[in-house]
Amino acid sequence: MEKKIYNLNFEEALDRFKSSFSGISEDEARKRIKVWGKNELKKKRNCKWAKIIFGQFKDTLVIILLVAAGLALFFQEYRDTTIIMIIVLVNAIIGFLQEFKAERTLEKMKKLTTDKALVMRDGKKIEISANFLIPGDVVSVTSGDKIPADGYILESYQLKINSVIFTGESKPKKREKGIILEKNISLAEITNMVFMGETVSTGEATFLVTGTGMNTELGKIADLSQEVKGEITPLQKKVRTLGKNVTVLAVLIGAMVMIAGHYFKLSLYDNFLFALALSVSVVPEGLPAAISVALSLGMKRLLGKNVLTKRLSAVETLGSVSMICTDKTGTITKNELTVTEVIVGKNSVNLGGIGYNPSGDFYQNEEKIDPQSIANLEMIFKIGTLCNSSNLSHHDGIWEILGDPTEGAMIVAGRKFNPKEDYYLQGEKKVFENPFSSSRMMMSVVYRGEKLLSYVKGSPDVLIDLCDTIQDGEGVKEFTSEEKKSAKELYNNL
């Protein structure tokens, strides 16, 4: 039985894909892309226009009306034919417009892939379109990058990956090179690989591409999602039952009228026309259009609440839900972290605002305060901002963090204290950085300003034990063992 990729060492992985640390050649890449195809998620049905259009005419009541319209046309009753067809077309147009609009919006899978990738070709690092990556390529990624394909890690430096799209966990997990996993494990437990759609929170890595396009883990999910068959909603079941009952009733009425007309010696034309009129009168022809209009309004209201439904019928299904079972908070949150409370000395300060928008007020004892009045609060935000490898960006009206969400939350808190973008960098020049590691449990940077200072952040357990002095509103003083114990109790309570 062939080993899984994560069961191999890096030499075996490179050998399986006939590659090396220098990557493959351009000639070999052109040959392989003909075999593997482009690195993109494919849809089984590229155009669903026809399916959406014909789907509007599957309803039993609509079928009855179409049959009636056909019979009316056969007997040259153009007025009745026109009225019935207008009703059917209005219903179909409403349903089509709403469902096609939702169909076009539901293209979010492709947004999880990136546009460019740094890849080794002919021993040189070049930038290419991620669509042209193929198994055997060697790709480099760094903090903030999206993973463009599935891959086996060849080199890594303090690498942490955000895998929220697979696991629902907002906290980045460490991935490492050189780890050989001996057994079959779940995707969430694999620590020596990266997968398309994930994001590099911190660190950097070089990996061997092992899967592209629909052969990636994300591609498998996309493939499965296209095979899901929709179930009939409670409303559709009731409408179908009504349609069957109306059909039986209409046929019975038509048959009885035909028999009665034959008994009273009516002509076949008059008899059939009379029977058709009575049969069609039983059909609530306005019901399909009324249902579509009601569901369309519901879809519009849901869209206003940022809920997108693919089909009109789903609106009614959501309305029938009485219980929602969820996994855990990380699965249904926005994958954003926010600083809500800062403790400096004996002062506890609460921060307003949500997400990564750097605006919010400061409160103490539920009263709004000027943060500049709190001693050493600016220094805390300065340390959190300068001793940081993440970045805050503003694009198309949306604030985003490139890097670790925890570090991003510190930057946002600092910007709330002073909204000026480079406020903490004024007069400072970075001269050294020692990144966070599991052995040190801290990150430190050195800046040259008026003085040469090192700013450090990390695990409270480690930093508190390292500190001999503390600074409060009165100045620098000894950090006693009792004060250290109180500080540990304080953060444990938080």
Read out DSSP for 360-413? Answer: --EEETTEEE-GGGSTTHHHHHHHHHHS---EEEEETTEEEEES-HHHHHHHHH
Give the span between the Cα atoms of 451 and 448, in whole angstroms: 6
331 Cβ contact partners less than 8 Å away, ≥ 6 residues apart: 168
Q: Does residue 331 carry a pLDDT above 70?
A: no
pLDDT at residue 106 tops 60 = no
Q: Is the pLDDT of residue 327 over 90?
A: no
Output 61 or 393, whichever has higher pLDDT. 393
CA distance 378 to 392: 19
Per-residue model confidence (pLDDT) at position 328: 60
Give pLDDT, residue 186. 85
For residue 156, pLDDT beyond 80: yes
> Any idea what DSSP says for residue 344?
E
Cα–Cα dist 487/470, whole Å: 11
Above pLDDT 70, what percent of the chain?
Answer: 87
Q: For a pLDDT cut of 90, what percent of the chain falls above it?
A: 34
pLDDT at 480: 92
Element (H, E) at 203: strand 199-211
Is the pLDDT at 113 greater than 70? The verdict is: no
| Tokens found for residue 150 | 């599935």
Confidence bin at 418 (pLDDT 50/70/90): very high
Q: How confident is the model at residue 230 (pLDDT cuts 50, 70, 90)?
A: low
What is the rounded average pLDDT of the residues 64-74? Answer: 75
CB contact set of 313 (below 8 Å; sequence gap of 6+): 230, 233, 235, 236, 295
**Tokens representing 195?**
């997968």
Residue 237 has pLDDT above 90, yes or no: no
pLDDT at 473: 75
Give kind and range of the element (H or E) at residue 447: strand 442-448
**pLDDT above 70 for 228:** no
CA dist., res. 212 & res. 171, Å (int): 26
- Average pLDDT of the chain is 83
| Least confident window among 50-59, 123-132, 467-476 | 50-59
State the pLDDT confidence band at 369, using cuts at 50, 70 and 90.
Answer: very high
3-state helix, strand, coil in the chain (%, to 5): 45, 20, 35
Six token digits for residue 85: 């067809």
**Which pLDDT belongs to residue 206?**
93
Alpha helix stretches (DSSP H) within 176-263: 217-227, 234-263
Give yes or no for a contact between 131 and 187, defined as CB atoms under 8 angstroms apart.
Answer: no
Q: What is the pLDDT of residues 454-473, one digit of tens each?
A: 999 999 989 999 999 998 87
Q: How confident is the model at residue 389 (pLDDT cuts 50, 70, 90)?
A: confident
Distance, in Å, from the CA atom of 184 to the CA atom of 188, rounded to the nearest integer, reads: 12
Q: Which of 115, 327, 370, 422 is catalytic?
A: 327
Lowest-pLDDT choice from 96-110, 117-131, 444-458: 96-110
Residue 98 has pLDDT above 70, yes or no: no
Tracing tokens 């605002």 back to the chain, one arrives at: 353
Contact (CB, 8 A) for 52 and 96? yes
* DSSP tag of 145: P
Tokens linked to 387: 């001793």
Q: What pLDDT, on the 0 to 100 scale, is given for residue 42?
A: 77
Please say whether the beta carbons of 384 and 346 come within 8 A: no
182 vs 190: CA distance, rounded Å: 11
Residue 46 has pLDDT above 70, yes or no: no
Name the least confident of 203-217, 301-315, 330-344: 301-315
Taking only the tens place, the pLDDT of each residue in 169-183 is 777 888 988 787 877
Predicted local distance difference test score (pLDDT) of residue 112: 52
Question: Cα dist. 295→95, 239, 251, 318 in Å?
Answer: 9, 14, 30, 11
- The span from the CA of 252 to the CA of 260, in Å, is 12
pTM (global) more than 0.75: no
The answer, yes or no, to whether residue 412 has pLDDT greater than 90, is: yes
The predicted model gives 121-136 an average pLDDT of 90
Of 100, 99, 94, whose CA–CA distance to 294 is shortest?
94
Question: What are the angstrom distances between the C-alpha of 465 and each of 207, 387, 469, 479?
Answer: 38, 20, 11, 10
Q: Taking a C-beta distance cutoff of 8 angstroms, is the pair 112, 197 a contact? A: yes
Annotation marks residue 327 as catalytic: yes
- Of 80 and 448, more confident: 448
- Tell me the three state secondary structure of residue 445: strand
Poorest-pLDDT segment among 17-31, 251-265, 318-332, 365-379: 318-332
Q: What is the mean pLDDT of residues 290-294?
A: 73
Name beta bridge partners: 350: 341, 363
